[in-house]
Chain A
């Protein structure tokens, strides 16, 4: 739990936001996050976010679903409780394919939803600050994280020149589960040590 300082710019158009994101990154500021009312194609690329590994997780969940289904049915019908269905062999794979398929889908789907919720910090009762409630309606919010080298007034006027309608400095609590910023934080500390 750390309270950090942010320079927050509010934009009212994504056609302004898009070049602004690129300019901010080129100027060397660190974008904490961008909050938009709707998904914007290509914004992740512009922000330089890495590709999600959600699908890798999905593949692993799916494989475990397949393994669970085949493993359990094999054990149940060939070892534990052999049943004769119309003279078919005890190990009759074609009959198990539908169940295997369903379990694969179920594991992959449920697992991916839960992983997605975890990655996005979505859960009942979890509160997360979006800097500006209007980012769920009609405003595009870009939050720059301030380091101790950041000159806020410069950052604010820079945001204004690239089209932000409203700019302010805010102190916000970043909760511990914002895991992906941990690494950056360490780098940040290392740099300051070198500087001092």
Chain B
């Protein structure tokens, strides 16, 4: 049987990607004209906050693909081999969005406007006992170093994992010894990536990038909760690409069994996200200490109430009820719909992480932010499509491929 090994980017696909990027650029320009160019620092902050929210969200989402690869590699899992090139291609977006995101973060931290990261204002910090206590962590130098190091490490280690995977395409491994060595090599690099990932996304980076917007407030759950958000959206993105490729006649060996498992990840991590979201909420609600509850004041009770509860319904109740059955996870339509819904829901989640602190009086015009988001979606589509077309869609010489072909849930 002949299989379609190489993805050929359809013309319409790239047209859509470029159209979305154009919408993104238009939205950024529009946002700059209406907010970014104003003299009012609050208005300027609204412009930067939109860039911050979107770039961080989409960076974490595409990076979740590499986490998925490394976690399955580390566990010596084989079931994902049938579609592993898809998350690999998605993770190729990390350096691109990483550069954009890094530039935005550094621009916000080193800019004159301290509305978003008010711990960057040294005069203010000197008078503020809480912020001066946090000076060792929340300072420009540490922020810049951690940001740059994180993005570089994600990009380099992701590149290494992709390179290891592609190195097999040309030369099959002849002996068992060679295969063992190859798997071991993969395992070690995946472990290095996981360590970096756990020290960044799972523990510290969301504190720096997002939580420090509310610099007085803190939550130790915050990073885990952000990780859950990004991972479930990352799985949804993988599902979208797998369904897209299947519908275009690629990925012959990825079948309903694999889609079912991706669906399980979407379902399980939606519940996991809720668990963390609720754990963070309930402790603060129970203790009822003003300096902690202030975080939820604009979100759960204030003007962001609608977005806050809408996001809860989209991210928990909808996946719980819709993705629960086996048939739903094997249905392309349901999976596509839920994947889009989940990505949108977690985008809203990031929206309500960032904006209530920046614009507590009124909910900003969200359509601009949608526009910026579409721009990033276009960028992800374009770069992923390019990466997909560069390597065969099946890593056919990988020792675990057989396991994936006969995979059965």
Interface residues, chain A, with chain B CB atoms under 8 Å away: 41-42, 51, 55, 59, 86-88, 94-95, 97-98
Contacts and interface: CB of A to CB of B under 8 A. Distances in A.
Contacts of B285: 94
Contacts of B286: 86, 94-95
A169 to B, nearest CB: 34
Contact of A94 (B282, B324, B325): B282
B70 to A, nearest CB: 27
B224 interface: no
Contact of A41 (B278, B282, B325, B408): B408
A86 B288 contact: yes
A141 B323 CA distance: 37
B305 to A, nearest CB: 16
Contact of A95 (B282, B324, B326): B282
Given A88-B288, A94-B282, 7 more contacts: A51-B326, A59-B324, A86-B288, A87-B288, A94-B281, A94-B285, A97-B282
Interface string B262-301: 0000000000000000100110011010000000000000
Contacts of B288: 86-88
A94 B408 CA distance: 39
A35 B408 CA distance: 20
Interface string B320-347: 0000111000000000000000000000
A82 B26 CA distance: 58
A130 B126 CA distance: 80
A36 B342 CA distance: 41
A114 to B, nearest CB: 21
Top-3 shortest CB links A-B = A41-B408, A94-B282, A94-B285
B408 A42 contact: yes
B243 to A, nearest CB: 23
Nearest to B286: A95
Nearest to A85: B286
A95 B35 CA distance: 42
A43 to B, nearest CB: 10
Contacts of A94: 278, 281-282, 285-286
A96 to B, nearest CB: 10
Interface string B361-387: 000000000000000000000000000
A55 B325 CA distance: 8
Contacts of A42: 408
A108 to B, nearest CB: 12
B409 to A, nearest CB: 9
Contacts of A55: 325-326
Contacts of A87: 288
A55 B286 CA distance: 35
Nearest to B408: A41
20 contacts: A41-B408, A42-B408, A51-B326, A55-B325, A55-B326, A59-B324, A86-B286, A86-B288, A87-B288, A88-B288, A94-B278, A94-B281, A94-B282, A94-B285, A94-B286, A95-B282, A95-B286, A97-B278, A97-B282, A98-B282
